[in-house]
C-alpha cells in the first residue's frame, strides 16, 4: 500500500469512528485535574464503573492533593481496596500528592513532563491526564487502543510505545485525544479481545484483521 493510499484509508477509518461515536469521551467521572489524576491512577487493571463507585466517596472526602498528602498509604488502602492493586495504588497516590505539594505548589501540573515525573504516573496516565484535564494533544494507548489500532492497521507494532508513535503519525494531531476515545469505545462495544463482532462491524472492509481472517477462511475452504 502506498503512503497516499494508507493516509486515505486511515482518514476513512477515522471518519467512520467519528460517525459511530460522536459522543465518545471519558467514562471515568471527574471534574478537575486532581480528580482526573486520581481516577486515572485507580483505573489501572480496573473497570471505569468500579472506579467511579470508589471515587464518588473518595472525592467527597479528599478535595485536593493536600488532603491526600496529609494521610498515609495505610489509611488510604481500605478506601480504594475495590479497585484492586490497592497497596501500590495507595502508595503512589499519596507519594504523587506529596510531590505535587512540594514541587508544584499543591496544583496538579499541566506540563506533560511534570505529570510523567509523578510517582506511579507512566506515559499512558500522563497522556490521559494531559488530554482530559488540560486539553493537551496526546493519545494514550491502553489495551483497547493497542488492540483495535493494530487490528485496523492504523498501527503495526508489538508494544505500546511504538503503537503510540505510529498513531501519532497516522492521526492528525488535533484528533489524537478524540481518537483515543473512539478506539476505546469501538474496543468495548465491537472489537473485543475475544470473539470480536466482525460481522457487525462497519469498518470490516477497511480492517486488516478482518481481511486476514477472510483470507485464512478462503484458504482453508479451498484446501478441503
Q: For 106-142, what is each residue's pLDDT tens digit?
A: 999 999 999 999 999 999 999 999 999 999 999 999 9
pLDDT single digits (tens) 186-198: 999 999 999 999 9
How confident is the model over 199-208, as a mean pLDDT? 96
d(CA 149, CA 76): 36
Could you give all domains of the chain from N- to C-terminal order, each with its CATH number? 33-134 (1.10.340.30), 140-223 (1.10.1670.10)
Q: What is the CA radius of gyration of the chain?
A: 20
CA 111 to chain centroid: 18
Length of the chain: 224
d(CA 143, CA 141): 7
Q: What is the pTM of this model?
A: 0.91
Closest CA to 39 of 31, 30, 47: 30
- The residues annotated as belonging to the active site are 124, 142
Cβ neighbours of 152 (radius 10 Å): 23
Amino acid at each position: 500500500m502506498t503512503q497516499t493510499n494508507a493516509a486515505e484509508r486511515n482518514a476513512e477509518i477515522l471518519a467512520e469512528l467519528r460517525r459511530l461515536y460522536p459522543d465518545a469521551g471519558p467514562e471515568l467521572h471527574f471534574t478537575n485535574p486532581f480528580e482526573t489524576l486520581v481516577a486515572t491512577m485507580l483505573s489501572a487493571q480496573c473497570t471505569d464503573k468500579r472506579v467511579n463507585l470508589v471515587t464518588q466517596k473518595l472525592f467527597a472526602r479528599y478535595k485536593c492533593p493536600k488532603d491526600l498528602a496529609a494521610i498515609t498509604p495505610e489509611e488510604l488502602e481500605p478506601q480504594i481496596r475495590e479497585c484492586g492493586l490497592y497497596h501500590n495504588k495507595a502508595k503512589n497516590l499519596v507519594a504523587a500528592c506529596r510531590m505535587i505539594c512540594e514541587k508544584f505548589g499543591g496544583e496538579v501540573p499541566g506540563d506533560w513532563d511534570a505529570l510523567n515525573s509523578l510517582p506511579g504516573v507512566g506515559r499512558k496516565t500522563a497522556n490521559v491526564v494531559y488530554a482530559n484535564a488540560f486539553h493537551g494533544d496526546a493519545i494514550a494507548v491502553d489495551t483497547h487502543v493497542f488492540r483495535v489500532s493494530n487490528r485496523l492497521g492504523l498501527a503495526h507494532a508489538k508494544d505500546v510505545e511504538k503503537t503510540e508513535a505510529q498513531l501519532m503519525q497516522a492521526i492528525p494531531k488535533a484528533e489524537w485525544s478524540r481518537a483515543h476515545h473512539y478506539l476505546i469505545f469501538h474496543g468495548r462495544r465491537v472489537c473485543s479481545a475475544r470473539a470480536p463482532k466482525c460481522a457487525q462491524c462497519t469498518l470490516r472492509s477497511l480492517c486488516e484483521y478482518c481481511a486476514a481472517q477472510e483470507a485464512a477462511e478462503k484458504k482453508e475452504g479451498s484446501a478441503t
